[in-house]
Amino acid sequence: MADVEYDRVWKRFGPQQAAAVHGLSLKVPDRELLVLLGPSGCGKTTALRMLAGLEEPDDGDIRIGGKSVVGLEPKDRDVALVFQSYALYPHLSARDNIGYPLKVRNLSKAEQAKRVERVAEMLGIGHLLPRRPAQLSGGEQQRVALARAIVREPRVFLMDEPLSNLDAKLRVHTRTELKALQRELGTTMIFVTHDQAEAMSLANRIAVLNAGELQQIGTPDDVYDRPANVFVAEFIGSPPMNLMPATTTGDTAVTDGGWRLPVPSGTTTSHPETIVGLRPEGIDIVANDQPGATLAEVITVEPFGSEVIVDVRLGDASVKIRTAPDVRPAPGSQVALSVKPSAVRLFDRATGAAL
């Protein structure tokens, strides 16, 4: 059990290349499940590998339990990593794979067997123990890899996209289990993924990375409701937040498409060039005669059962609206849109930062 801290960590792979990790500072308290979220190539896996000791930072410090681990061999860090590829030893049975870290620690045969059995039981893979990795399905391999990490009782669990090779249904099921498991074990976990839905459902807190830089860190609700910048706003949420260039004066923002929106109270803008952000569920389709409503043309209607996504055109901008399943405007028709002031987010057009 331990907390983890990144302290101004830099990593660059070649002199010509941009930094893979760009002055990352991050504190993960004990027992937290932190998700590192970002598009591929954003540096999240590199950050994880530096914590594991598979890469060394060029600058900065990494601490586990308050003590620097920089320069320590991976074997001396007492962290477990589940790889995206699972990295099961192909020539060993599932039992020997799970037992390998215990064998390394010179535990007695009886103790090894007991702990392997217990973990296998916990994950429901007791019957798979005699098999080789090649004889296991993807989901089963994933469980064996997980068991190999758990059996050691490490200080920190590291997960490098461990669910991305599973089919969609199994992925959703496994992430629910994983969350319960982490809570039960109470071990700090750092989980890397590019899937924002996975991040939202798993995390105590999410750290969003882009191009090696930390964009925002906060609870899932924080990053969803109050994205720190345009990148986070676009990356999180499906469909993502609608973003439209706007001119802001006083308490009104006017999009380039001519939509007048109320600016939430407390927002200060020093200059009028802004970007307005609206979550699809922050927009309502209302009766055409409602005061303040704006008319837009319906382009497509996508029913998803529990909700309907309506795509409308407003000037040049395409706007997605999440509505109740019974709202089905005809494509080509005009609908009236209304927005609550509290749903409007404003960003600086020059920097992309939230205002």
Partner 1 sequence: MTASARRRAIGRNRLYLAGLSPAVFLLALFFVGPAIWALASSFTNRALVGIDAANPRFVGLDNYARLFSDPEFGRVILNSVVFVIGSAIIGQFVLGLLLALLLDYAQRRGFVASGLVYGSALLAWVNPTIIAGFLWVAMFDFYNGSLNTGLGLLGGGPVNWLGQGPMLAIIIANTWRGTAFTMLIFLGALRTIPTDIYEAARVDGAGPFRRFWDHTLPLLRPIASLTLLSVTIATFGTFILIQTLTNGGPALQTEVIALYAYHEAFQNHAVGYGSTIAVVMLTLNLAFAIVFLRWSRARA
Partner 2 sequence: MTAITAPEALAARADEGPPMRAKAKAGPIERIAVHLVFLVISAFFLVPFLWLLSAAFDAKANAYVGIPAHPTLDNFVKIFTEYDFGRVLVNSLFVAIATMILVVFTVALAGYSLSRIELRRKDWITYAVLLLQTMPISATMVPIYGLARQLGLRNSYLGLILIHAAIELPFLIWLMKGFFDSIPRHLEEAAWLDGRSRFRALMEIVLPLARPGLGIAAGLAFLSAWAEVLMVVILIDQDSLKTVPLAFYQAMRTQGGYTEVQYGVIAAMAIIYLLPVMLVFFTARRLMVSGLMNSTRGL
Question: Angle CA(83)–CA(88)–CA(93) in degrees, nearest 5?
Answer: 155
- Spatial separation of the C-alpha atoms in residues 332 and 271, rounded to whole Å: 36
Distance in Å, CB of 107 to partner 2, minimum:
11
- Asked if residue 100 binds partner 2 (CB under 8 A), the reply is yes
Give residue for tokens 């760009």. 22
User: Which segment (49-57, 61-69, 239-247, 333-341) binds partner 2 by CB under 8 A?
Assistant: 49-57
C-alpha closest to that of 237 among 199, 193, 285, 276:
199
Which of 39, 74, 325, 331 is close enough to bind partner 2 by CB under 8 A?
74
Distance in Å, CB of 117 to partner 2, minimum:
19
Decide which of partner 1, partner 2, none touches 37; Cβ closer than 5 to 8 Å per partner kind. none
Nearer to partner 1, 11 or 320 (CB): 11
- Spatial separation of the C-alpha atoms in residues 77 and 136, rounded to whole Å: 30
Decide which of partner 2, partner 1, none touches 70; Cβ closer than 5 to 8 Å per partner kind. partner 1
Decide which of partner 2, partner 1, none touches 197; Cβ closer than 5 to 8 Å per partner kind. none
Give the distance from CA 252 to its chain's centroid.
Answer: 33
Which of 66, 71, 90, 305 is close enough to bind partner 2 by CB under 8 A?
90
Which of 152, 171, 194, 322 is close enough to bind partner 2 by CB under 8 A?
152
- Spatial separation of the C-alpha atoms in residues 118 and 98, rounded to whole Å: 11
Which of 1, 54, 180, 295 is close enough to bind partner 2 by CB under 8 A?
54
C-alpha closest to that of 169 among 142, 139, 128:
139
Strand order in the sheet with 283-286: 283-286, 334-339, 294-303, 308-314, 317-323
- Asked if residue 115 binds partner 2 (CB under 8 A), the reply is no
Decide which of partner 2, partner 1, none touches 152; Cβ closer than 5 to 8 Å per partner kind. partner 2
- Spatial separation of the C-alpha atoms in residues 88 and 94, rounded to whole Å: 8
Which of 34, 48, 80, 246 is close enough to bind partner 2 by CB under 8 A?
80
- Asked if residue 91 binds partner 2 (CB under 8 A), the reply is yes
- Spatial separation of the C-alpha atoms in residues 294 and 338, rounded to whole Å: 7
Decide which of partner 2, partner 1, none touches 224; Cβ closer than 5 to 8 Å per partner kind. none
Rg (CA), the chain: 24
DSSP run (H or E) holding 283: strand 283-286
- Asked if residue 44 binds partner 2 (CB under 8 A), the reply is no
Who contacts 145 (Cβ-Cβ below 8 Å, separation ≥6)?
82, 83, 86, 87, 88, 162
Decide which of partner 2, partner 1, none touches 117; Cβ closer than 5 to 8 Å per partner kind. none
Distance in Å, CB of 70 to partner 2, minimum:
16
- Asked if residue 104 binds partner 2 (CB under 8 A), the reply is yes
User: Which segment (50-58, 122-130, 217-225, 258-266) binds partner 2 by CB under 8 A?
Assistant: 50-58
- Asked if residue 83 binds partner 2 (CB under 8 A), the reply is yes
- Asked if residue 73 binds partner 2 (CB under 8 A), the reply is yes
- In three-state secondary structure terms, 57 is coil
93: tokens are: 């049975």
- Asked if residue 148 binds partner 2 (CB under 8 A), the reply is yes
Decide: 245 and 255 in contact? Cβ < 8 Å: yes
Decide which of partner 1, partner 2, none touches 57; Cβ closer than 5 to 8 Å per partner kind. partner 1
Residues at the interface with partner 1 (CB under 8 A): 56-59, 61, 68, 70-71
- Spatial separation of the C-alpha atoms in residues 30 and 298, rounded to whole Å: 49
- Asked if residue 6 binds partner 2 (CB under 8 A), the reply is no
